[in-house]
Structures are given as C-alpha cells and as structure tokens.
Structure 1
C-alpha cells in the first residue's frame, strides 16, 4: 500500500460497531463434553449483543442455531442476526476473524494467517472463514491478504490513536513467524496496521493460557488514555511476581504526548482449577459493544463486583453486563476471545 498512514485508522474497539461475530460451538469441536453449557453461554452473549447491534453467526449448521435463537430472542433481536454457514474447527472468532482498518471511512479487511496459536490445535477450516465471508459479501470492504503472516486478534490492542499494544511472549512464540526478529515483526505491524507506535509488554502471562500470552487477557485499552490491567496482590499466588512486573512496566509507559497512562487495576480472580490444572480466568477479557460492555464473571461475588465497577470507571456511559465465563475458561479463553467486532460499514 502506498497511501500515507494519515488516511488509515485502526479503530479502537469502542468505535461505533456494525456487528459482532460469534463462531458457534458444535459437536465436532473440543466443546463436546460440555456442549450444552457452552451453547447456553453463547445464547446469553447473543441476547446481549442483539440488544445493541447486529450479530453475525458463523456455523456449519445455521438452521439449528437459528431455531435455538428464535426460541430465546425477540423478533426485533432476530432481525439483527445474520447467519453464514461454513465448516469450522472451533469458536475463537477473535483470532480467526478479520481485523478491520478504515481508509477514509472505507473498511479494509486484514486477513491474517490463523494457525491454532502456533499449531497447537486444528486450524485449517477457521483460517478460511474471513475469505469466505468476504467472497459472499457478508463482510463489506477491501480484503487484504496477509496470510503469509500469523497474527491473532487477541494478540493486539489499539487505542484508536495509532498506538498498538502487544506482548513479546506471544508474537515471538514458536511456530508463529520464525525466523522473523522482533524488529522485523514490529515493522510489519507498523506498515500493515498503519501504527505510529508498537508498545511491547514483557510480563503477565496467565497460567493455563494456550495463546502464549495474548494481551486481551491482561491489558485492555479504554478511552482517554486509560489502560485496564489485571493486578495480583496475593504474594502466595504463583503469578504474583510476573504481574507485579507487568504493573511496574505499565507505570513506566507514556502516551504519545509524553503523559502517564490512567491505570485501572482489575482484580485477579481466585484460582479456578479443572482436574488439577489452573485455568486462565481473567476480567480483562471483556467485550465492548455499542453502549454496553460484557464482563466475564466467575461466581466470585466480591471479585466480580470489583471488576464490574472498575470497567464502569473506564466506560461510564456504557451498561456493564456480567456473563458467567466459567465454562469458557475450560478451553483456556474467555468472552472477548469468542468475539470479533466490525466497525460501521462492514455489515
């Protein structure tokens, strides 16, 4: 691309959205042992999303999902649901969905390679979803093919003002983009995302996280130079030192104008285990909608309420809605990982 950065914008997640994508769970995914539970979580998400904007449902069996939602949503809400049928491996739309730029208001859909977080899981079907959505004109905009480069949506955060945040442990992890160096990866991010600054965070990898440290599990951008981050104050927690180092690094950061960021600390959920394995529960994995935010909850009333109140500080004009994410973390993600937002003009 030869246009200057000034004509391109990677909008922040709170920019006006046209729709949210959910890639629906089914029996041929790892969700099979608790398919009813995760389907119920998806229905709850659909109920909230369709109160505020359109919902794009991707599924290999859209008629089944349609029948399910028709029994749960109002007619007005159902009018906001768009169905697209295609084969899928899993449900993590954040990481296989299109990352959208705006070029003078026109959407540009960046289609990156998704390879199952470094070839840990099956990915080939999910890697084709964005191309199919574009080819069938479900997603409007110019499609840019960047499938020679692995980049998951959950690995980047943007403030809407040309600063992109990411983590060194993820983008430099094995089976992503070797043999590229960090400097070479940064150059690609600058060029393709039209960013002026790439901020690399070096700490805060949740135990049990399959993504090698996605930033959307630990640090999130909010309006007015605000960063919400997961803090850990329990010295007995195995993650204490790592998250204190993250906090110290965030305190040292400065905005492009040289000012410190407004930092809002989210609580660390009390550890949740499944068959002896600690799961990556996090309140940072919230979902921003038009005038609402969905906050993951974990049946921990005090922590859940503190998280909701902290998110409300960052988004005072949004309704904050809690949805239980305990089933989602059994597959090592949370609510934001399940979604991909599209700005106005895409759908």
Structure 2
C-alpha cells in the first residue's frame, strides 16, 4: 500500500504533541528501564497517536519491534468481556486478535463456566513501542487477560482504572501458588486459550506453569504453549502467530514439541534467574532509546498515514458502549505488571 507522507507542519505538530505527552510521564518502562521517553522517540510518537491508520490490517515487524496498520479496537464492553484501564488507549489490535479474544470470552463461559474476561493491554492504535509496561505488544498480536473473573455487573470507567491486580502467588513463599486464589477454572481457562490453532504461546508465571505441569490431568497436547516468564502472576499474555498472508510480520521461533515441564522449567526454581548482580559487576548498559528509524521502514508511513474517521468506526466486533473515561495518566509503580520479587534489575519484567 502507498501511504501519503505527512507535511512538515504535521510532523512538527506530532513532535510537539509527543513532547508534551512524554514530559508528563513519571512512571518508568520496566522493559526499557527508562523514566520517560524523549520527544521524537518511537515511544513518544506512537504513544501520542489516538486513532489507528487507515488501510488493510497488517502487522509489521516483530512482536517487540514493529507497528500495526489497520488496527481495530476491542469494544469497551461485550456480553462476555470488559476492557480494563481505558485511559491507556491500548485496546487496539489486529482484527484476528480482536476476533480471538471475543471467541475465547464466549467459549470460556459456554465450555468451562468462566463468567467473562477482563482484558488488559493489547496494543496502541498504531502499535509501536509503549511508554511503559511492555517491550512487546507492538504489532497487535499480543494481549493480556486478567486471571480475575469478570464481575456480574458492568464496571464504571473509574473502577476499571482502580481495580487492583490479584496475584495467584502465596505471600511469603517462593514461587508457590496460593490455594485460596487458584482454582481449577483458572487451569481450564489457560488450556482453553492454548487450544486455538492461531495461538503461538501463552506467557505465565513459572509457579503457574509448574502448577499446570503437576496437576493438569486432561489433554496435555497444548501444555507446551504455556511459557514461564517473570511476573505474569495476575494475568496471562496471549501471543498469536502471524496471520496467513501477513508478509510483513516476522514470526517467532516455534516452541519445542515437549510439554515444557522439564529442565527449562526447573531452571526457574534455581537461584540463577533471581540472582542479584555481583557486587563488583559492571552495571548493565541501558539500552539505546528506540527511534522510528530502528523499526521496519513501513512504520514511518504508518505513523504519518491518515487516521480512521473516529474511534467508534473502528471497533472490531459488536458496537462499543460509551463510557466516560478518566483522563490518561501514567501507570503508577504499583500498577505495572506485578513481579515475583526480588527481580534483578538487569532482568526484564515483561516481554
């Protein structure tokens, strides 16, 4: 597709807006370990855009280095889901991801009795790197789903901002599932999500993976899709495969054929993943801030492409219900994805 290039005035205006937004942030990005994005950086520019780019759906690049054309929004409310943290404006995704989330929410209620999904971050309107909280979620094929069941009533916008995460880990014990929180329904939800052919992998806390390895007695064919990672004790992270025909999408190396319950899982229960840096070790060099020029070339055109006419016109499924959304605010330190502490400073909390 050929994109219309932005005029100098558009570019200057976008840089100015990105500078204002970037300067207002106070929370750090756990993945990039920086306090706020610099004006003109990829994070600042993609984070300042409020609507998706017009054009056919196309994930561009890799999950942690790319952007998204033709994104659509998961409606704020559906019969079997509610979208969380609306002020972040991260409920956008590739149409295939939006369809998958809606299907999972319906299947979860019908097949396992899960009341409904609370859906967290998917992607920004045009994808790209985020101000905080994630290094991936850049091409519309990643989505976070809370391990908290959807309440029976419709939450207000403010309640969706304020509802705390509920960890599945037992306080005071190392990588141990809390039996007062974890249920068989959690296990069924994870295996249902892993059952879809389009799902590449699902990131969970190592304790959750071990619990599944030790206790899941059903079909274990898709158990290997559950991949242990730091944090992810109050939500799980769905990653889809590149959709058919998405030539600009860079796939991730496939998972191994086993169930993932062997040596790779055992490593998480050693000291190595959690070891603090040695006292005399040289501090890790902070990663260079990502610029638009570091992304696939098409992402500059996506950033400058005409916007969709309105947010209401781009919903991927059922019509969105209007809510009064609280003003956008930076994520507080306690609102970033919870970690299993202590996590060494040179280890990423999120992908």
Same fold (TM over 0.5): no
The higher radius of gyration belongs to 2
TM category (shorter chain) comes to: under 0.3
When normalised by structure 2's length, the TM-score is 0.27
Higher relative contact order (CA 8 A, sep 6+): 2
User: TM-score, normalized by length of structure 1?
Assistant: 0.27
